[in-house]
Chains A and B, each alone.
Chain A
Amino acid sequence: MTPEEEDIYRRKQKSRALAMAIGLGVLVVLFYLITIAKIGVAG
């Protein structure tokens, strides 16, 4: 890999990691809301 290719590779890797982190954060919030809704429905 040339330095330019490695730079592109790293940038893509970073954007994927960021997208994954955002996705996981959204899931944490979603699971919290689902739990509250389920408890509310059961109650």
Chain B
Amino acid sequence: MNTTTATAPASPIAADWRDFYALTKPGVMKLVVFTGLAGMLAAPAQLHPVLAFTAILCIALAHGAAATLNQWYESDIDALMKRTANRPLPAGRMDRETALHFGVGLGVFSVLLMGLATNWLAAAILATAILFYVLVYTVWLKRRTPQNIVIGGAAGAFPPLIGWAAATGDVAALPLLLFALIFLWTPPHFWALSLFVNADYARAGVPMMTVVAGPRATRRRIMLYSLAMAAVAVAPWALGLTGALYGLTAIVLSAVFLALAAGVLANRSDRPAHMKPEKRLFLFSILYLFALFGAVALDAWLPGMLAA
């Protein structure tokens, strides 16, 4: 990519395939792929297995493209934070141009493949998700406002909508509620993390809520968003869009989420060493989303499997 010449150039930069893989943020990708798959499985229409696999692959590739372009744009602030300083660009293992080409290429390819393999509505939502994450979140909001992850969270909320659209060719109330669920889950999830890595964000000059408004105001907002998120989590069952399995899972896990958020609200410490409630909420929030989306998919499939 950055060189195809017969002799090695003067620049020592030669990224290995592992660096390209690292650019795609594979850790976060698991959740993106899982929520996309759950949206697809919850849909009333079934895709051919090869096309379903391709749709999920496209969601994964699009996530990789957005993550790569995010790191291409943010390599300066990534270099200032302990958590991100060892990424391929700030660590100097790859040049920026290579990352840009990789990100744009992967993004265009994922959208075209989605359109050709499934339908163009799913491809259009996929393109919107990439552009939203890169242009609205990374370029526009992240360095300007503490509401960055509130609005930017929408980018991560698209996968269930894309999975559903790939299977059915349209958008309905259930995938929209799943979109709203991830959208409202993102602030408590990220603010819990930013409370205990606050020094990193402050050093990089990123206006996270914890840096601008302080821990106390952030903890209050975590509680408020958790309440709204719990209401949306239960809504698919209350509206009769899912069965009792999902309803029970949503009620029990949302109650635990709210209890942990209350623990965060009660904590008064500013020191990361004393932020056990925040760490607990952060870790549980990941399990919460996995379990809820697993329940959505199981709820749609279980009656058919039991009847067979």
Which chain A residues have a beta carbon within 8 Å of chain B's beta carbons? Answer: 1, 5-6, 8-10, 12-13, 15-16, 18-19, 30, 33-34, 36-38, 40-41
Contact = CB atoms under 8 A, between A and B. Distances in A.
Interface of B: 1, 3, 8, 10, 12, 14-17, 20, 48-51, 54, 57, 116-117
Contacts of B10: 1
A18 B1 CA distance: 13
A33 B50 contact: yes
A34 B1 CA distance: 28
Contacts of A6: 8
B14 A12 contact: yes
B16 A12 contact: yes
B54 A30 contact: yes
Nearest to A36: B50
Nearest to B10: A1
A8 B116 CA distance: 40
Given A19-B17, A34-B117, A37-B48, A1 B54 contact: no
Given A12-B15, A12-B16, A15-B16, A1 B50 contact: no
A22 to B, nearest CB: 9
A34 B12 contact: no
A40 B51 CA distance: 11
Contacts of B8: 1, 6, 9-10
B15 A34 contact: no
Nearest to B13: A9
Contact of A34 (B14, B17, B50): B50
B14 A37 contact: no
Nearest to A8: B14
Contacts of A15: 16-17
A13 to B, nearest CB: 6
A16 B94 CA distance: 13
Contacts of A41: 48, 51
Given A16-B1, A34-B116, A34-B117, A9 B12 contact: yes
5 contacts: A6-B8, A8-B14, A16-B1, A16-B20, A37-B48
Nearest to B109: A27
Contacts of A12: 14-16
Contacts of A37: 48-51
B54 A16 contact: no
A29 B116 CA distance: 16
A41 B57 CA distance: 20
Contacts of A16: 1, 14-17, 20
Given A10-B8, A18-B17, A41-B48, 17 more contacts: A5-B12, A13-B14, A15-B17, A16-B1, A16-B17, A16-B20, A19-B17, A19-B20, A30-B54, A34-B51, A34-B117, A37-B48, A37-B49, A37-B50, A37-B51, A38-B117, A41-B51
